[in-house]
Structure 1
Amino acid sequence: MEATIAKSKSVTMDCHNVDKKLRQIFDLTEDEANFHMKQSAFLYQLAVQTMPKSQHCLSMRLTVEYFRDDSFDQELPVKYSDPTLQHYVIFSTNVIASTVVINSTVMHARDSMNQVFHVLTNGQNYYAMKHWFLGNTFKDAVVEVLNIDPFIPDYYDKTTPSHLNLPTEFRVSFHGINNASAMHSRTQYISIFSHSHYLLPEIFKNLEKVVVLDDDIVVQQDLSTLWSLNMGQKVMGAIQICSVRLGQVRSYLGESSFQKNSCTWMSGLNVIDLARWRKLGISETYWKLVKEQVSKEGSAALASLLTFQDLIYALDNDWVLSGLGHDYGLSTQSIKKAAVLHYNGNMKPWLELGIPKYKVYWRKFLNPENQFLNECNVNP
């Protein structure tokens, strides 16, 4: 031992070289960590924004089957335009997501015979949707699939995209201080109407009232009482998010005239008085605001917030529980109490990224024995 200690003392150490080497190792490790962080963020966004392989398979299979078998090509036009019935509108390009919305709504309805669902999709997904909903029944409800593309050229101008737009979702984060030493952040995912929603009066000319459902919701209670709501002079019933007010997003609203204490509102579950919408020229107001905000990011969402100022009828918060697509902290009690569960956020229930404990509420409205789902290995 003494010999070893003596030998080690005889070796001259250049601390500068050791320090330099350690710094090089640290820099390389830091660069590698940054690379993996960026790669992880990219792959996360890719997973969020792309269609899973199994669902792409399902869409292709259904499209092929539609053209192979024309025996399903039947219509029920009388019910589709009957204003005495309860009309639900869903904007979607996702077969299984829209199926869950319809199935969960019908399963909790007191009388499904009065229910008419209109699924608005694009030309790319129209035939897959058509074949799927003609081949499946939803108690006594009827489902109409509409290709929205033919409505677009006559209504949009050159400053807006000429394709189907799903509800716009944007993330709002607020940073604050919990106590003297701890920082905390609060994040909300606000979903707002897109360009396509402002085609509703044009598409449903014979209807005076509709309920619009996003395709990332699950219905847990009967919705029929929505049709007896007295909204007074308001145009739309929606859940208001008073934790995010217009004044808090004023940097995005620019010099537009708005009430800074007004609450923002959410799409997901919306009751729309189409008759009053037409009377007040809501669509025209929206397009005017879009043109004014066209140079700004998220112009559609901003224009929607401004268009419906003072025209929102606030639905009771018990109607909708939001956050199942991003918030891990929702209680089982609040989930069971809500009439509608809204999976707003990036972690949709049909994605592998979906929050596992919330998927069970969504998955039970899919038929695991369906032939197409099995053949394409659709198992969210």
Structure 2
Amino acid sequence: MKVKWGPAGRRFAYRSVLPTLILLGVVTPFVFIRIAFFALDAGASFCPSIGCLGRRIGPLFFRGGDSSLELVKELRKTYEAERGEPLDSKLVEDAPNSWNDLMAEITSYTYQELDLRAFLLKTRAMLMKMDNKVQSARMQASLYRHLASIGVPKNMHCLALRLAEEYLVNANARSSLPPPEYAYRLTNSSYIHFALLTDNILGASVVVFSTLKSSANPERLIFHVITDKKTYTAMHAWFALNSVSPAILEVKGLHQFDWPLKVNEMILETVQVVRECLSAYHTHRRSWHDYERYEAPSSSSFSLLNYLKIHLPELFPKLERVIFLDDDLVVQQDLSPLWDTDLKGKVIGAVGIQNETGARCTEKRQGDHLNFSNPLFSSLPFALEPKHCAWFLGMNLFNLEAWRMTNITRTYQSLIKLASFYPLAYLPKKYALIVFNDHKLPLEHSWHLPGLGQRIPQPKHIEAAAVLHFSGPFKPWLDVGFSELRGLWRSHLNHSSELLKRCRVVE
């Protein structure tokens, strides 16, 4: 029996073609996008082969279990099995340099070639390689920062050489400091005496002239600048050519002191011990951690002048008290009220000590400076506590009469002989925390603002401080110093000085 197509059937078939094509044209793009989405989602887990895509797309279409969870379980299982196993150095060296390199390498494998263990090992090796690069960069930055902080800038070296030349050819540069008619003031206790032990000409100049500028009675000020033999001529020439009148200033080299035999032996003992410590540092520094070797030691740790501060009573045998100033200070207020402070029989007045009202520490505590786990400190007969507030050196009022009645200097010498028990870095500061601990009197915190060579304090604290202390590696005369703070120091330089202009210290 034949099926006959009538006119109506043909009309029905022809009429359905066009709607069918339109429907397919609309539906097909959505189907394609949906399949592409599944394919991309399946390939996100580094599955480049068709077999892998099928394994991932199938469950998505048919709502089965998610195989990505199985993959995560496999990765965790493999990770736990390999966890703690040391990596071969050759594997770390050959590891990809970045995540993109790792993914490019992994996606080049077929699904059958993909090994989860190999993937995890490569990932661990890549992360270790990247971490090694970061640590190396940090160490290099620490080294460069340390070298920059202890180096002598070219302009300061130039100034020292030119001043030494001036001392030889210019009679004015060799004039007496102070003039003979004012020499009696050097031991007169009715004047305000400041002591600086430094070989930094610019630093000493800023300290002296900022103190003069801030003083209500500059004619009462006496400056004692102690330096070493190599810097003496340049230091003398600078202050001979740049008058501090109406104040009085003396420049004295260590080679010019004529101590009694007993005092001379005591100071030579300190010198000998310091040199032995420095020698031990250079001998054994390779056994220390690199970070401690480059980051911890400050330039002052290698300066003999820094250790002779412990001999202030011997350096000034006829003075009753003295205000000690570091060479990285800027004085902003009159220090006469500090000079008149009653130390109540104590040896040193310092900022940073917890006051009697129980207020919080101004800065760090003793535990931040001293390693109390070291038996050396736990066995000392001093009232040391990790939670007690530390105090600051750099701007201190010393009662030399009270000091002479103690054994502070001998104790310091004994401690410094034990330098092998503790890294040399910041020895003067750390051991001073110990020997002066029972002989200190707290001063109002506004007298001394330290740390400007480490951080930038709030403007209100800078304005309120009597003395700004650029303690830390970023000194204001170095290029690594904070540009925001450098102007506070440079404003006290003599910008009309031809010597400073020739050495490009100032423009």
Normalising by structure 2, what TM-score?
0.62
CA RMSD of aligned residues (A): 3.2
- Following TM superposition, by how much is the alpha carbon of 1:46 offset from its aligned partner in structure 2, in angstroms? 0.6
Matched, 1:219 2:341: no
After superposition, what is the alpha-carbon deviation per residue over 1:333-378, rounded to whole angstroms, capped at 9, x for unaligned? 1110111111111111111111111112111111222111111111
Matched, 1:287 2:399: no
Q: 1:185 maps to which residue?
A: none
Q: 1:263 maps to which residue?
A: 389
Change (3 A) 1:379 1:24: farther
RCO higher in structure (CA 8 A, sep ≥6): 1
Q: What is the one-letter code of the residue matched to 2:177?
A: E
User: Of 143, 154, 160, which residue of structure 1 is paired with 2:273?
Assistant: 160
- Following TM superposition, by how much is the alpha carbon of 1:119 offset from its aligned partner in structure 2, in angstroms? 1.2
Change (3 A) 1:239 1:30: closer
Q: 2:44 maps to which residue?
A: none
Q: Secondary structure at the match of 1:145?
A: strand
After superposition, what is the alpha-carbon deviation per residue over 1:55-98, rounded to whole angstroms, capped at 9, x for unaligned? 11111111121112233321332222222211101121111111
Give the whole-Å Cα distance in 1 for the aligned partners of 2:493 and 2:455: 23
After the TM superposition, which segments of 4 or more aligned residues of structure 1 sit over 6 Å from their partners? 8-12, 20-28
Change (3 A) 1:292 1:150: farther
Q: What is the one-letter code of the residue matched to 2:402?
A: R
User: Of 189, 208, 218, which residue of structure 2 is paired with 1:112?
Assistant: 218
Q: Secondary structure at the match of 1:310?
A: helix
Unaligned stretches of 5+ residues in structure 1:
166-188
Q: What is the one-letter code of the residue matched to 2:246?
A: D
Matched, 1:313 2:441: yes
User: Of 163, 177, 181, which residue of structure 2 is paired with 1:62?
Assistant: 163
Q: Secondary structure at the match of 1:211?
A: strand
Contact 2:393 2:429 in 1 (8 A): no
Change (3 A) 1:153 1:21: same
| Sequence identity percentage | 30
For residues 26-45 of structure 1, what are the structure 2 equivalents within 5 Å? 32-45=133-146
Contact 2:197 2:306 in 1 (8 A): no
- Following TM superposition, by how much is the alpha carbon of 1:23 offset from its aligned partner in structure 2, in angstroms? 8.1
Q: 2:423 maps to which residue?
A: 297
Q: 2:205 maps to which residue?
A: 99
Matched, 1:354 2:481: yes
Contact 1:153 1:162 in 2 (8 A): no
After superposition, what is the alpha-carbon deviation per residue over 1:286-340, rounded to whole angstroms, capped at 9, x for unaligned? 2233335564334544432221122111110011112211123x21111101111
* Structure number, greater radius of gyration: 2
Bigger fraction of residues in helix: 2
Q: Secondary structure at the match of 1:56?
A: helix
Give the whole-Å Cα distance in 1 for the aligned partners of 2:172 and 2:428: 41
Change (3 A) 1:162 1:153: farther
Contact 1:219 1:341 in 2 (8 A): yes
Give the whole-Å Cα distance in 2 for the aligned partners of 1:132 and 1:214: 18
Give the whole-Å Cα distance in 1 for the aligned partners of 2:428 and 2:454: 23
Give the whole-Å Cα distance in 1 for the aligned partners of 2:429 and 2:272: 15
For residues 1-380 of structure 1, what are the structure 2 equivalents within 5 Å? 13=110, 32-73=133-174, 74-76=176-178, 77-149=183-255, 154=265, 155-157=267-269, 159-161=272-274, 194-242=306-354, 243=361, 244-246=364-366, 249=370, 250-252=372-374, 253-259=377-383, 260=385, 262-291=388-417, 295-298=421-424, 299-328=427-456, 330-379=457-506
Bigger fraction of residues in strand: 1
Q: Secondary structure at the match of 1:160?
A: helix
Give the whole-Å Cα distance in 2 for the aligned partners of 1:63 and 1:137: 18
Give the whole-Å Cα distance in 1 for the aligned partners of 2:433 and 2:306: 11
Q: What is the one-letter code of the residue matched to 2:142?
A: A
- Following TM superposition, by how much is the alpha carbon of 1:272 offset from its aligned partner in structure 2, in angstroms? 0.8
Give the whole-Å Cα distance in 2 for the aligned partners of 1:280 and 1:161: 22
Contact 1:106 1:139 in 2 (8 A): no
Unaligned stretches of 5+ residues in structure 2:
1-35, 37-47, 51-107, 258-262, 279-297, 355-360
Change (3 A) 1:24 1:62: same
Change (3 A) 1:308 1:32: closer
- Following TM superposition, by how much is the alpha carbon of 1:240 offset from its aligned partner in structure 2, in angstroms? 2.4
- Following TM superposition, by how much is the alpha carbon of 1:31 offset from its aligned partner in structure 2, in angstroms? 5.0
- Following TM superposition, by how much is the alpha carbon of 1:275 offset from its aligned partner in structure 2, in angstroms? 1.2
- Following TM superposition, by how much is the alpha carbon of 1:274 offset from its aligned partner in structure 2, in angstroms? 0.9
After superposition, what is the alpha-carbon deviation per residue over 1:109-137, rounded to whole angstroms, capped at 9, x for unaligned? 11111111111111121111110011002
Contact 1:241 1:264 in 2 (8 A): yes
Give the whole-Å Cα distance in 1 for the aligned partners of 2:125 and 2:173: 68
